[in-house]
Chain A
């Protein structure tokens, strides 16, 4: 497996990152601004900065077809940035009408709406109203009891999954009359007015849900929670108990983000600073391994002669007796701090071939799956 492509952008946490459709532009949230990097050769160079938010930006998403960027931040606002012909980005404020911070934002697959999760126990679904030339928001409130940590769209652009710190992952319908076409009946339900709860899932320990994701076909939902477990739900119809709810308790630290790479495989990453793979189907799932290669650090310089003098000298200077062999200032994983987001980078044939991860260490890494 080829080595992952590491881009160490800066020494600050990256809350969220997103690539443009041709993967030549990378938008990275850095404190109060979004930095746009353009690919030149093998590296990314800083091209532009989107300033407008007053507080930390918590979510960035680039719409693949139209190229619009939506950002949301702890200042309770969201902006939609449109590219103009001279390269400038024009921000449009979106009135979310929330009174707490926004925690994450995602465009729906057909790019007519986006959903913003917030600490106000509300999901704001925003769409563009032509008559007023303005982005308006509709709120999904019940029955969310606590902060919404993540949102994910179903391929039909109507169903929305949300994970929350009340331990539940819920699937809502965000059908907006006039913007959406009536979706086809699916395992999640048939007639779905706005704010219908199509499913509410809890895992036994009720830990905070960090991330939710629909499978590529939309027939299954996975969520990862703070009790180091991943739960996958296979629903069977509205108002019916699900066909299967499979919960895998891992022995690693919790995952912060997950992504379906195919109908039977998930990649998840989190506080262990590494990317892991899980595979299975409606009958059972298991953790199959890590995307990291097990290598002894090849970049380490060759061992110096391990003499007694060196050993005692290092004990005196550094307080450890390992000498040159122990370099414990860096983690063995590629990311040196926890990973925040996993996004799809390259797909082919319905399967994701490459993913990108961004973390608290300021690195964006592209992996082969």
Chain B
């Protein structure tokens, strides 16, 4: 008996009441598990729509079928797909940022923006925005970091140059952080801080 070190017993693991045995996943609301396959299929469809020029349909499709249940890879795929869908800030934002973006896509997306109703959809759009802002690099190795730009390699002359920053880390989308921020500004003007709070407190992450 003396050769058993009692002090190494993990008493919390043995206590049924303790926080160690509290399965936090039981607190999350139930979500339908979506397989990565389904997410890929849907991503493919959205890509088609985008190529076909139907930006509104693509955005709506993405907002209505949210991959809550998919695993991390599926979610990362979805958000990388979305980055090309946010090519430029909405039209009436300060034009300094949008000079490198083709104006016709701006108008299309602003129109889309105005069309989307339903606070659920707006909340989902906000979730995508935050996920995109946190997505610093292509690999899942650096997930969200402290700021949206945390994963990017900031070159010393990156100050005014967000629009010229290479799309390397964003899977082809140009603009990066400034795009997200301008969309965010427009969305908050439309729906208010309530949707930001919902993004933060909702356990179903996109």
Which residues of chain A have a CB within 8 Å of any CB of chain B? 145-146, 166-167, 202, 204-208, 225-229, 249-254
A228-B197 contact in complex given A205-B203, A205-B204, C-beta closer than 8 Å: yes
Closest to A202 in B: B29
Contact (Cβ within 8 A) B194 A205: no
Contact (Cβ within 8 A) A253 B201: no
A166-B27 contact in complex given A227-B201, A249-B198, C-beta closer than 8 Å: yes
Distance (whole angstroms) from the CB of A141 to the closest CB of chain B = 10
Known: A167-B27, A205-B201, A249-B123. 18 other contacts (CB 8 A): A205-B29, A205-B198, A206-B27, A207-B201, A208-B201, A228-B194, A249-B119, A249-B194, A250-B194, A251-B119, A251-B191, A251-B192, A251-B193, A251-B194, A251-B195, A253-B193, A253-B197, A254-B201
- List A contacts of B203 (CB < 8 A): 167, 205-206
Which residues of chain B have a CB within 8 Å of any CB of chain A? 22, 26-29, 119-120, 123, 191-195, 197-198, 201-204
- List B contacts of A145 (CB < 8 A): 22, 26-27
6 chain-A/chain-B pairs, Cβ below 8 angstroms:
A206-B27, A226-B201, A228-B198, A229-B198, A249-B123, A250-B194
- List A contacts of B195 (CB < 8 A): 251
Distance (whole angstroms) from the CB of A193 to the closest CB of chain B = 23
Distance (whole angstroms) from the CB of B206 to the closest CB of chain A = 12
Q: By DSSP majority rule, is chain B's interface helix, strand, loop, or mixed?
A: helix
Closest to A167 in B: B27
Contact (Cβ within 8 A) B28 A253: no
Q: 4 closest pairs, A vs B, by CB?
A: A251-B192, A228-B194, A207-B201, A251-B194
Distance (whole angstroms) from the CB of B191 to the closest CB of chain A = 6
A227-B27 contact in complex given A251-B191, A251-B193, A253-B193, C-beta closer than 8 Å: no
Distance (whole angstroms) from the CB of A345 to the closest CB of chain B = 28
Q: Complex: how many Å from CA A225 to CA B29?
A: 14
Distance (whole angstroms) from the CB of B124 to the closest CB of chain A = 12
Q: Complex: how many Å from CA A336 to CA B27?
A: 34
Distance (whole angstroms) from the CB of A56 to the closest CB of chain B = 22
Distance (whole angstroms) from the CB of B125 to the closest CB of chain A = 14
A252-B194 contact in complex given A205-B201, A207-B201, A227-B202, C-beta closer than 8 Å: yes
- List A contacts of B22 (CB < 8 A): 145
Q: Complex: how many Å from CA A29 to CA B119?
A: 38
Q: Complex: how many Å from CA A206 to CA B120?
A: 15
Distance (whole angstroms) from the CB of A192 to the closest CB of chain B = 26
Contact (Cβ within 8 A) A226 B26: no
- List A contacts of B120 (CB < 8 A): 249
- List B contacts of A207 (CB < 8 A): 198, 201-202
Q: Complex: how many Å from CA A225 to CA B202?
A: 11
- List B contacts of A229 (CB < 8 A): 198
Distance (whole angstroms) from the CB of B122 to the closest CB of chain A = 9
